[in-house]
Amino acid sequence: MKVLAINGSARKNNNTDILINCIFEKLNAAGIETEAVQFAGTVVTPCKACFACGGKENCIHQKDIFHAVFDKMKEADGIILGSPVYSANVSANMQAFLERAAVVCDMNSGLLTHKVGACVVSARRGGALNAVDAMNHFFLNHEMFIVGSTYWNMAYGQMPGDVLKDEEALSNMDNLAENMIWLLKKIEQEEEK
Ligand SMILES: Cc1cc2nc3c(=O)[nH]c(=O)nc-3n(C[C@H](O)[C@H](O)[C@H](O)COP(=O)(O)O)c2cc1C
């Protein structure tokens, strides 16, 4: 079993990454393989609305990271979408990624069906719920199962590492990981029947 995390932050190895790694630690301890992709240092271009992806199962434009990441997404059993809050929503890279992934899924049905999804958000102060909603809407639109926790999956912090001081968020991430493990294992059992 494998979980892929896609991190929309413009900064490498920072707050969003810390949240993802909290979840990965528990997933790894449960024997689940993990991989993280970071968009930092790269630009995901928006959807060109060409609709040429029908029957291709991926975007036909291959000049940026999208194609490779979407291939990984199709292979994964679980997907974590992580974004910092930028202007009260997900980062522009995450938004561009979701636009393109959504069109590919619309034009090629069933690519993400029954995969497990969770999102994590880091924010300084405002807009975290908008970002959570944006990423959960993607999961909901593509027949995925969303995993929740005891609070929405957000953490507060501005400078690199600040989210480590948000103890409630960190324990929420642990719980999110437990729920993700539970659901992934149930689905695996069901598929083995
Ligand atoms: C371009 C930009 C816009 C931001 N807009 C917001 C915002 O609207 N609300 C907020 O709470 N934080 C905002 N922040 C702060 C980040 O969300 C916060 O620092 C977050 O922890 C960064 O996560 P990272 O370390 O994974 O990049 C913004 C940061 C940047 C660089």
CB-ligand 1 contact for 193 (6 Å cutoff): no
User: In terms of residue numbers, what domain contains 100?
Assistant: 2-192
- Angle at CA of residue 85, ends 84 and 89, nearest 5°: 130
CATH code, 188:
3.40.50.360
Q: Ligand 1 centroid vs 106 CA: distance in angstroms?
A: 30
The stretches in the chain having pLDDT less than 70 are none
CB-ligand 1 contact for 135 (6 Å cutoff): no
Ligand 1 pocket test target in 19, 119, 124 with most atoms within 8 Å of CB = 124
Question: What's the whole-model pTM score?
Answer: 0.98
pLDDT at 114: 97
Nearest CA-CA partner of 128 in 91, 170, 79: 91
pLDDT at 31: 98
Ligand 1 pocket test target in 81, 158, 166 with most atoms within 8 Å of CB = 158
CB-ligand 1 contact for 18 (6 Å cutoff): no
CB-ligand 1 contact for 138 (6 Å cutoff): no
pLDDT at 119: 98
C-alpha–C-alpha distance, residues 190 and 193, integer Å: 5
C-alpha–C-alpha distance, residues 153 and 118, integer Å: 8
Handedness of CA 106, 107, 109, 110 (dihedral sign): negative
pLDDT at 49: 98
Helix (H, G, I), strand (E, B) or coil at 52: coil
Helix (H, G, I), strand (E, B) or coil at 7: strand
Structural domain tally of the chain? 1
pLDDT at 77: 98
pLDDT at 170: 97
Nearest CA to ligand 1 atom 29: 86
pLDDT in tens, 142-162: 999 999 999 999 999 999 999
Nearest CA-CA partner of 22 in 189, 141, 130, 168: 168
pLDDT at 189: 95
Per DSSP, the residues of 114-183 read T-EEEEEEEESSS-HHHHHHHHHHHHHTTTPEEP--SS-SEEE-SSTTGGGG-HHHHHHHHHHHHHHHHH
